[in-house]
């Protein structure tokens, strides 16, 4: 179980990455995770000036490595890709498209490139493009998802590529990290657990909804428009699914989701907003600082691995 492959690559203490989360993972959250020995990731979604300001703020808060998550479909992606080089960001994670055309430039600037992938074929393609590692995300995860589960996807990708594999989706405690390592991953990315951290900016209503969620409380919307998203069930998801089942115009369906994440994150409207969270929300039931979360995860991991090795 080689966690050193990822801690050495990213120059971090523990094999734990806080996943990029649009409108959520800002300088405060990312810096707190990096300061605690993991890798914090700010979101690269926003205007170029907003993202530049967030990078500068993160650099003031921590001297440790941090990353930026880039959604490749955004209009200002060329500018953000250049910003990554100008600001010499340690790590880029990418989603929603292929980072192929930017990889050479990023690597010239010593940026580690880690795409988030939902399948073996895309993982292999990213390795060919020169990615340093891949984050393999199962459909248990919160937010936009693929079709396969973490349990079945990780070992298949591990067998198919030579670069380090980081597991994401459905990991909420040290047992989840241990299981990921057993499947051949060398680290994990977590989103839902960090949503309720003290340093996370999401509205208290959002945090309470995640903390009170049960195992069966998530729903996948957007399957009919090929943009599946895992969220906690509420008035919005009921309306969304009703429209999807009635074969409504995809534009009407998409319009319902517009601005919905902001509504939940900033305004705390957990009835009409999009409360993105993963299936593991049912296990996440206490608010802690990022340092407490990471220390607890590593203690649990040691305990589980010790038990496995001694039995
Ligand atoms: C609220 C929320 C927003 C997210 N936004 C993004 C995003 O903007 N970009 C991205 O690559 N992944 C995003 N994700 C996925 C996370 O980075 C991470 O991979 C995922 O949460 C891991 O699964 P977990 O939720 O089971 O921990 C988001 C997840 C959540 C819960």
Q: What residues have CB less than 8 Å from 16, skipping those under 6 apart?
A: 33, 37, 38, 39, 177, 187, 188, 190, 294, 297, 298
Ligand 1 pocket member 213 (CB < 6 A):
no
**pLDDT, mean of residues 82-86:** 94
| Tens of pLDDT, residues 33-67 | 999 999 999 999 999 999 999 999 999 999 999 99
Ligand 1 pocket member 169 (CB < 6 A):
yes
Distance 1 CA to ligand 1 centre (A): 25
Nearest to 193 by CA among 304, 10, 38: 38
CB 54 within 8 A of CB 46: yes
Ligand 1 pocket member 18 (CB < 6 A):
no
DSSP H helical segments within 46-97, as ranges? 48-61, 77-86
Q: Closest ligand 1 atom to the C-alpha of 71?
A: 9
Ligand 1 pocket member 20 (CB < 6 A):
yes
Ligand 1 pocket member 189 (CB < 6 A):
yes
Pocket test for ligand 1, best of 16, 21, 30 (most atoms within 8 A of CB): 21
**What was the pLDDT predicted at 309?**
65
pTM of the model: 0.95
Q: Closest ligand 1 atom to the C-alpha of 94?
A: 11
Residue 100 has pLDDT above 90, yes or no: no
CB 271 within 8 A of CB 234: yes
Q: Closest ligand 1 atom to the C-alpha of 116?
A: 11
Ligand 1 pocket member 168 (CB < 6 A):
yes
Say how far apart CA 302 and CA 285 lie, in whole Å.
21
Say how far apart CA 268 and CA 208 lie, in whole Å.
10
Question: Using CA positions, which residue lies closest to atom 19 of ligand 1?
Answer: 19
**pLDDT, mean of residues 10-30:** 97
Average pLDDT value over all residues in the chain: 94
Distance 147 CA to ligand 1 centre (A): 15
**pLDDT, mean of residues 76-101:** 91
Banded model confidence at residue 310, pLDDT cuts 50, 70, 90: low
Looking at per-residue confidence, does 212 or 100 come out higher?
212
62-66, 74-78, 80-84, 134-138: segment of lowest average pLDDT:
74-78
102-116, 183-197, 242-256: segment of lowest average pLDDT:
242-256
Number of helical H runs and strand E runs in the chain:
14, 11
Q: Closest ligand 1 atom to the C-alpha of 170?
A: 26
**What was the pLDDT predicted at 232?**
98
Distance 138 CA to ligand 1 centre (A): 11
Pocket test for ligand 1, best of 91, 143, 165, 284 (most atoms within 8 A of CB): 143
Banded model confidence at residue 311, pLDDT cuts 50, 70, 90: low
| Tens of pLDDT, residues 163-180 | 999 999 999 999 999 999
């Amino acid at each position: 179980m080689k966690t050193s492959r990822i801690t050495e690559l990213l120059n971090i203490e523990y094999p734990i990455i806080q996943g990029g989360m649009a409108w959520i993972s800002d300088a405060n959250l990312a810096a707190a995770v990096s300061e605690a020995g993991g890798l914090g990731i700010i979101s690269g979604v926003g205007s170029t000036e907003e993202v530049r300001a967030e990078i500068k703020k993160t650099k003031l808060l921590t001297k440790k490595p941090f990353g930026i998550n880039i959604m490749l479909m955004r209009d200002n992606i060329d500018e953000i890709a250049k910003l990554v080089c100008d600001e010499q960001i340690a790590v880029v994670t990418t989603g929603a498209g292929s980072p192929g055309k930017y990889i050479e430039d990023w690597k010239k600037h010593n940026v580690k490139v880690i795409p988030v992938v939902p399948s073996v074929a895309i993982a292999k393609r990213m390795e060919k493009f020169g990615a340093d590692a891949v984050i393999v995300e199962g459909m248990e995860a919160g937010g936009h998802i693929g079709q396969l589960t973490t349990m079945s996807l990780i070992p298949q990708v591990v067998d198919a590529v030579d670069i380090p594999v980081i597991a994401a989706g459905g990991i909420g405690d040290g047992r989840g990290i241990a299981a990921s390592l057993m499947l051949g991953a060398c680290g994990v990315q977590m989103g839902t657990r960090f949503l309720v951290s003290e340093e996370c900016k999401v509205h208290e209503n959002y945090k309470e909804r995640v903390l009170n969620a049960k195992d069966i409380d998530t729903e996948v919307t957007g399957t009919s428009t090929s943009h599946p998203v895992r969220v906690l069930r509420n008035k919005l998801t009921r309306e969304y699914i009703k429209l999807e089942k009635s074969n409504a115009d995809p534009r009407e369906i998409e319009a319902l989701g517009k601005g919905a994440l902001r509504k939940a994150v900033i305004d705390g409207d957990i009835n009409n907003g999009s409360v993105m969270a993963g299936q593991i929300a049912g296990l996440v039931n206490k608010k802690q600082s990022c340092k407490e979360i990471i220390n607890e995860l590593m203690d649990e991991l040691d305990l589980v691995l010790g038990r496995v090795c001694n039995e």
